[in-house]
Structure 1
Amino acid sequence: MTAAPLPCDPHELSSLFLFEKLAPEQLDRLCREGSVLAFEPGPVYAEGDPATCFYVLLEGTVVLSRRVGDYDVEVTRTSDRGVYAGAFQSYLGDRVPQVYNSSLKVAEHSRFYVLPAECFAQIMREWFPMAVHLLEGLFFGYKSAQAAVGQRERLMALGALSAGLTHELNNPAAAAVRATSALRERVAGMRHKLGAIAAGPYRRDSLEALVEVQERTAERVAKALSLSPLEAADREDALSDWLDDHGIDGGWQMAPTFVQAGLDTEWLEQVAAAVDEGSLAGAMKWLNYTVETELLMNEIEDSTNRVSALVTAAKQYSQLDRAPYRTADVHELLDSTLLMVSGKIGPRIRVVKEYDRALPPIPAYPGELNQVWTNLIDNAVAAMNDGGGDGTLTVRTAREGDRLLVEFADTGPGVPEEIRDRIFDPFFTTKPVGQGTGLGLDISWRIVVNKHHGDLRVESVPGDTRFQVRLPLTAPDAPDDNGAAPQPS
């Protein structure tokens, strides 16, 4: 915006809190090297532009805003004389990119004292050398501490996930070992029974009928439906009575196995009709071995599939074998994260998925989005644990115009209104000392907003807290951290 130059009055500058302790010759230098400019309502500079000037308000009203995704969010509106903005970190030189970190506009006719950035830097170093060293130390020390604590938080999260993954892998692996041991015993029993059948008085047609029944029984096991406890108990009683009525010893031991395989008295009648009455008891025990081995093999298959799914989820979560920036299915990322943190969620919290499966893949940094999901889920679980331990975590996806919404809703006590504006600040945490770094939401905000040009916000009332992530459906034109717009692989 074109601004009208005005005379610079050293006396007016001395009335501002920034300059009230300066000597007359210093005030004169400020007027020589700077200027007073008047602006009509409208923009003064834009966020991200090169920071060329330091602005101090003399009169009027200024509005500072930050870009959040596709929206400008107002962060400050004031008419206080002496407030400043612009290139106030230019004393750091080229060690920090000198760009405006917010947008400035005026809401009415306003006057500023304006000092070029290079003059501001030179004056700071000449007049306040000790202060400049202290400010540099504070700035870079803060950055280093933030990076170190952020790395620690990522390592802590990785450690917790590794422990959870180890626990999750141990369960199906132990189940497979137990099932394999039991299967070895059943196969040995089948070999013994096969020898007894071969030595017995079975006719060829009876053996063929028995083998056919065995095949059909194995198929029945694969299609068995789950029963309620009451239904299973009733069927066990009916099968046990049937076996007793037909003079078969140990029927009460075989009945539960047959029920688990989906067999009923009608099926046993078909078996009885297919074999001789004298060989019925041997046939039933042979079928019992068949059912047990099929059930054990199913258990081994389920266990190994579970291990495979966990390994796949771990790879999906870590994205170790993927490009850093690519087109990704958000639902795959959410599912892998939920599986990885399932141990942390625990049995008392119910997880509900409300996915819009019609949503397209989006260009993203999948590994970093998984970190966002982890942080938000962790906060939700912690909130519900603080509220008693029971609750519901709802993960919802939807389309909102040209954006994809991912929402994490929990039934915890909520975020108090007095701290709601601070939860995304670095190092702010409500957790006890040693349990939180205060960087989880800050890291999540920077990943969503800075890295993905999206939006992260919270809506909260007691019993219903919603963290909402909105991501662009298409690749942004804005450059990434390296200065070039990434292209999805």
Structure 2
Amino acid sequence: MSPIVASAPASPTPVDEIADALDRVPPLQGLTFEERKWLAEHAEEIVAQPGEVLFEENTAADWMFLIMKGEIHVQRQRGGPMALFIGRAGQMTGLLPFSRMKTFGGQGVAVSPVWGLLIHKRYFPEMLAAIPSMSQRVVSTLLDRVREVTRIEQQAEKLAALGKLAGNLAHELNNPASAAQRAASSLVTELRANRQNRFKLVNLHLTTEQIHEVEAWERDVLESGRARKCGADEMIQHEEELRNWLTALPCDNAWEVAPDLAERGLTIADLERLDKILQSNGTCITLQYFARYLRSTRSVDTLISSTARIFDLIAAVKEYSNMDRAPILEVDVPAGLDATLQMLQSRMGNVVVERSYQPGLPCISAYGGELNQVWTALIENSLEAMAGCDYPGCLRIICRMEGELLLVEIWDNGCGIPAELQDRIFEPFFTTKPPGQGLGLGLDNAMRIVRKHRGHIGVRSEPGSTCFRVRLPVDQLQAY
């Protein structure tokens, strides 16, 4: 009984017609009519209509499948990187001789009328004997399949890395962008309020001498650096004293003015000095204007620092991805490490980062973007190792010269890598994560990049201490 969930045609196709049709299957082109007839005689003919399921995920794969007509989409139902594989007319797929395939990797659904041939694995030895060239054809198909699956998996790994980078960057940009938005909104509010307040100031009819004295008072307050730094209780008490003084002035919005004056460090004596200058004429209006000026200044400072942070992030992204640069360039490795840490900052809330860079390190000729992929893979591995610990994480980055080699060490105090797995972590597709959460290509990709640069990568791990070491030759002139 075939695990393929499909039916035989109502009228079986004559063997000679099937043999002629097999000549249009690219992997089988060049076979003699007799060889194609052998396949037709030993095959089980099936048909399926659009929407019908041909096979289920994880069911036994015991058949070679020759797709004569139609198209099949294979969908992974239980996660994983390769969400969709498309089988089209002319393909030889399913279980092939020499393949280690045990089960179907997804659910196969016909998206157009399908006509196919199934050859059970029990016929494989007889098929290879009857059709000598079949071995080479099968091996060639298997190699193509491995290359295609590897390409799809690597593309999925890159997309997953890009998704992480985008998420980290969005998180990092959100904070300064939100702060800048709040500051701009507050600044607009204060400017509008002072626009209304200016007419009241004009109506005070201050003399030239009073104007100079108010300017001197403001200059003294602003330049004295008396911003009050004290405990919360003391600040509340001081603010209450200023509010009471303003209320007695009287000042109708003392509750709004007092906090800014208290934060700036103004005292009752400062307020009394201003009141004496103005001769109790418009003291409240002047203090309102001054408080709004203080709030506006804070908003401007926030805008400057927030936009500076955004520009720093943009610079870090450019440094990380080596945008607008040649593929091979003089790479500042510590700068690349810092840019990578910047990209992953949002995931380091409970992690202490320690940097130890030897001064005056030389730049190396390398593919800067690829090296940053190495740092990302290693640092992410460390962060994931520390995420499950019930104690504060510590990530230590060391960069120094070791003879003629540049040595980068990435330490963490996570749970460590079991000794029996340390020799396997650089294998492609090896992962200890649950299905759908990791492809097992991050460290494999890191090793391939390091080897491309004529370098070496290794790991030493025990519970509470794991260290990845990357050694790169400084002179890369012979590396490409």
TM-score, normalised on structure 1?
0.63
Match of 1:263 among 259, 262, 265: 265
Contact 1:214 1:290 in 2 (8 A): no
Counterpart Cα distance in 2 of 1:403 and 1:336: 22
Q: What letter matches 1:361 in structure 2?
A: C
Match of 1:308 among 304, 307, 311: 311
Shift of 1:464: 1.4
**1:469 and 2:473 matched:** no
For the structure 1 residues 467 and 274, does the alpha-carbon distance in structure 2 shift closer, same or farther, using more than 3 Å as the test?
farther
For the structure 1 residues 225 and 314, does the alpha-carbon distance in structure 2 shift closer, same or farther, using more than 3 Å as the test?
farther
For the structure 1 residues 244 and 346, does the alpha-carbon distance in structure 2 shift closer, same or farther, using more than 3 Å as the test?
same
For the structure 1 residues 326 and 213, does the alpha-carbon distance in structure 2 shift closer, same or farther, using more than 3 Å as the test?
farther
How many pairs does the alignment contain?
346
Shift of 1:215: 5.1
Shift of 1:415: 0.4
Shift of 1:158: 0.7
Per-residue CA deviations over 1:59-95 (Å, capped at 9, x if unaligned) read xxxxxxxxxxxxxxxxxxxxxxxxxxxxxxxxxxxxx
Match of 1:187 among 185, 191, 204: 191
For the structure 1 residues 462 and 264, does the alpha-carbon distance in structure 2 shift closer, same or farther, using more than 3 Å as the test?
farther
Contact 2:228 2:262 in 1 (8 A): no
CA RMSD of aligned residues (A): 3.1
Shift of 1:301: 1.5
Contact 2:455 2:471 in 1 (8 A): yes
Match of 2:294 among 291, 296, 299: 291
Q: What letter matches 1:382 in structure 2?
A: E
Shift of 1:388: 4.6
Contact 2:242 2:262 in 1 (8 A): no
Match of 2:172 among 149, 168, 177: 168
Aligned partner of 1:151 in structure 2 is 155
Q: What letter matches 2:430 in structure 1?
A: F
For the structure 1 residues 232 and 405, does the alpha-carbon distance in structure 2 shift closer, same or farther, using more than 3 Å as the test?
farther
Counterpart Cα distance in 1 of 2:188 and 2:439: 51
Contact 2:275 2:283 in 1 (8 A): no
**Counterparts in 2 of 1:36-435, with a 5 A limit?**
135-139=139-143, 141-214=145-218, 227=229, 231=231, 233-242=233-242, 244-245=244-245, 247-248=248-249, 249=251, 250-260=253-263, 262-265=264-267, 268=270, 272=274, 275-278=277-280, 279-343=282-346, 345-388=347-390, 390-435=392-437
Shift of 1:195: 1.5
Shift of 1:240: 3.6
Counterpart Cα distance in 1 of 2:265 and 2:448: 58
For the structure 1 residues 201 and 225, does the alpha-carbon distance in structure 2 shift closer, same or farther, using more than 3 Å as the test?
closer
Aligned partner of 1:19 in structure 2 is none
Counterpart Cα distance in 1 of 2:226 and 2:304: 16
Indicate the SS of the match to 1:327.
strand
Aligned partner of 2:12 in structure 1 is none
Counterpart Cα distance in 2 of 1:380 and 1:318: 21
Contact 1:232 1:259 in 2 (8 A): no
Shift of 1:436: 0.9
Unaligned stretches of 5+ residues in structure 2 = 1-131
Counterpart Cα distance in 2 of 1:157 and 1:444: 13
Q: What letter matches 2:469 in structure 1?
A: Q
Indicate the SS of the match to 1:275.
helix
Q: Which moved more, 1:145-154 or 1:287-296?
A: 145-154
Contact 2:364 2:476 in 1 (8 A): no
TM-score, normalised on structure 2?
0.64
Percent identity, please.
34
Contact 1:428 1:438 in 2 (8 A): yes
